[in-house]
Amino acid sequence: MRRLALLLSCCLLLASCSSLELAYNQAARLTAWWLDRQFDLDRRQRDQLDQALAELHAWHRREELPHWQALLQAALRGLDDGRVDAAELQALEQRLDESLQRTLRRTAPLAAPWLATLRPEQWQHYSERRREHLQEWRAEEADADQRADALKDSLERWLGRLERPLRTAAERQAQSWGPAPAALWQERAQRQAWTEQGLRTWAAGDLEAGTRLLLMGGARLPEARGPATQAQRERTYADLPVLLQQASPAQWQRARERWRGWLLDLEQLRADS
């Protein structure tokens, strides 16, 4: 369920999907598939999960889409001059965080009954899957080419297909960052532990405490960011605006067209609700 909250609050970031409407409408199905892989659900649990996801998706379409429209409209105004600074990026992140928090709080009472049905071996299966994911992330961070590809993919989700000079600049930027230090990996492992603890706390019926743990697991609360995580965050806010300054007027125009298309998608989604 936390996965759907993240997908719904960050659906703009879904990989290479030019249609926000398509990505949004697939969010519940993708979440069900992902959770089934993480927990190895039985038939009854899958049915219960599908019902909870449908309720959450309907709520989000009704309550959160207006916030998304306001966020995108503000972001589009910020793109008018073809420049983005750290303050604008932080303002966008803050509004996304607010959406995520509202969505998690609505998710909690829907997720708790389903999570309470999980058996010990299913929790163990989840823990093992998350450890595997952490090791995969560490290997990817150690590979300069994969770091560069991840940065380019992220930029393309927002800006559309990158022109060659910006692609080259992104590759140089990713290489300059170097591999993640061991401390960052350790802090990520701690946040992963908070995430599992948050889900277990939801399952036990303490919704507010579980929500806080999940926000800490996502590094959405300042106190959850260790020194290495904070240093990475500050570096990103310092370097990304400089990198974006190298985008051409044509690149910014494609970005504006892309975002206007997302606004049209949101209008259609609200009309369909």
Give pLDDT tens digits for 253-270.
998 898 888 889 888 888
pTM (2 decimals)? 0.89
219 DSSP assignment: T
Q: How far apart are CA 54 and CA 192, in angstroms?
A: 26
Does residue 82 carry a pLDDT above 50?
Answer: yes
For the ranges 41-45, 86-90, 197-201, the lowest mean pLDDT is seen at 86-90
Average pLDDT score, the chain? 88
Q: In 116-179, which ranges are continuous DSSP H helix?
A: 120-142, 144-159, 164-177
Please compute the mean of the pLDDT values over residues 117-121 and round it to a whole number.
Answer: 98
- Res 19: pLDDT: 66
13 pLDDT band, cuts 50/70/90, is very low
Q: How far apart are CA 131 and CA 33, in angstroms?
A: 19
Does residue 14 carry a pLDDT above 90?
Answer: no
Please compute the mean of the pLDDT values over residues 25-29 and round it to a whole number.
Answer: 88
Tokens of 133: 């994911």
Largest separation between any pair of C-alpha atoms in the chain: 55
Q: How far apart are CA 265 and CA 260, in angstroms?
A: 9
Yes or no: say if 203 and 213 are a contact pair by the CB < 8 Å rule.
no
Residues 121-164 have pLDDT tens digits of: 999 999 999 999 999 998 888 888 998 999 999 898 888 899 99
In single-letter form, the type of residue at position 31 comes to T
Q: How far apart are CA 69 and CA 85, in angstroms?
A: 21
Q: How far apart are CA 244 and CA 103, in angstroms?
A: 30
23 pLDDT band, cuts 50/70/90, is confident
Backbone angles phi, psi at 138, to 5 degrees: -65, -40
